[in-house]
Amino acid sequence: MQIPDYRDEPFEWYREMRNKAPVVKDGNSVFLFRYDDCKEVLGNFRVFSSQFRDFMDKEVAAQLNMMAAPSILILDPPKHTKMRNLVNRAFTPRRIQSYEGEIRKISEGLLDQQKNTVFDLVSSLSYPLPVLVISRILGVPEENMTRFKEWSDKLAMNLGRMGVDMALQKEMSDYFGKLIEERKHSLGDDLISLLIESEVDGERLTKQEITGFSILLLAAGNETTTNLIGNSILTLSEYPGTFQLLKEKPYLIQSTVEESLRYRSPVQSTRRVAKENYSIGGVEIGRGDFVSVFLGSANRDEEIFSEPEKFIPDRKENRHIAFGEGVHFCLGAPLARLEAKVALETVTARYGNLRVIKPSPDDRLDSDIMYGYRKLMVQKEN
């Protein structure tokens, strides 16, 4: 199957596929475009596994085993359940809510530095914000932020790919290994200390597991949140009057964030591997087939959403699956939602309007999984 270039808008192609060929099998790859099919696969971990290493090239799997413990993203229950229970404590809505003041301070501080009328929203706000927030939460010194940014960049680009950047893995493992050792001797209120102390049914996380989890947070949380904020501002700018609407009615910001997640999903697709034969939409999926689930298409399915191609800031019953579905539902969803809400509150309170200067397709991230822009020039108006 011919997948469009990542720089093209994928939405027209999705629509065509949903209508003409919602389930495609091409060799041992399967592609799903409809909401119900995507949900069915993500909701059935018994058949559709995230444990890719069981089906990977032996050499790559061995390399992975040498480095960090498998992250929860690529584990199936029951191992996944045990790990997820251990890390859940750090991500309860109450704990996340307690970061709101800090997130607001960081957002305000970043925008205070922005004196020009025309500036790049990504490098000024949407990129540094999640990196600064996660480093504060993890308790990482601020001077390491540049290194953090580089790591999360590289990690995001590798997400969903089978290969492993060994040098990068080693650099990060060494860094977190040292940090964990330091924390063990002086526990604080940070996430790493919390993970060291976490215990469920007498089980604790090993140093290797805490390292793997910290790396996953950088990989899964930064680029995605950057894109959520950037995509939201871009879409507001494409729909005249919506920025002013949020200025007047800030209580609509929450539903706007949800609509942005649906309309321009930061993660456009995820994958599973079939452990058994299974039939979907009359197409036979075989054991060992890799299944691509297009979240970005599911979120525009006309069977589920009215006027799916339209951005409606106060859309009701927005059942998007931008954060996935089932046991792997995004652990960081409350944090991503909070960061995007605070970012939109900050810019709408501060500016009369923020007009995005039409970005070039070449400014799009070089990824067919992530949807977002590396650069978004904006013009502020009072």
Smallest separation, CB 145 to ligand HEM (Å): 16
Burial of 182 (0-12, 13-18, 19+ CB in 10 A): exposed
The least CB distance from residue 229 to ligand HEM, in Å, is 8
The Cα–Cα gap between 355 and 252 comes to 19
Binder of ligand HEM out of 17, 172, 191, 220 (CB under 6 A): 220
Least spacing, CB of residue 118 vs ligand HEM, in Å: 26
Q: Is 72 in the site for ligand HEM (CB under 6 A)?
A: yes
Which residue, 195 or 380, has its beta carbon nearer to ligand HEM? 195
For 352, the token pair is 């009369």
- What's the rounded Cα separation, in Å, for the pair 112 and 94? 29
Q: Which of 174-182, 196-204, 265-273, 347-355 is the region at the interface with ligand HEM (rule: CB under 6 A)?
A: 265-273
Helix (H) or strand (E) holding 292: strand 290-294
- Count of positions on this chain that bind ligand HEM (CB under 6 A): 24
Residues in 273-332 at the binding interface with ligand HEM, rule: CB under 6 A:
322-324, 328, 330-332
Listed in sequence order, the residues at least 6 apart from 251 whose beta carbon sits closer than 8 Å to its beta carbon are none
Which one, of 55, 7, 60, 4, lies nearest residue 31 by Cα?
4
With contact defined as beta carbons under 8 Å apart, do 370 and 152 qualify? Answer: no
Q: Which residues contact 356 (CB under 8 A, 6 or more apart)?
A: 121, 233, 234, 237, 238, 376, 377, 378
- Residue from the set 336, 338, 343, 347 that interacts with ligand HEM by CB under 6 A: 336
Interface residues for ligand HEM in 145-204 (CB under 6 A)?
A: none
Closest separation in Å from C-beta 276 to ligand HEM: 19
Binding of ligand HEM by 266 (CB under 6 A) = yes
State in angstroms the smallest separation of the CB of 115 from ligand HEM.
Answer: 29
Q: Which residue, 67 or 129, has its beta carbon nearer to ligand HEM?
A: 129
- Residue 84 as a binder of ligand HEM (CB under 6 A): the answer is yes
Angle at 234 between CA 343 and CA 132, to 5 degrees: 35
| Residue 256 near residue 311 (C-beta atoms within 8 A) | no
Residues that bind ligand HEM (CB under 6 A): 42, 72-73, 84, 134, 216-217, 220-221, 224-225, 228, 266-267, 270, 322-324, 328, 330-332, 335-336
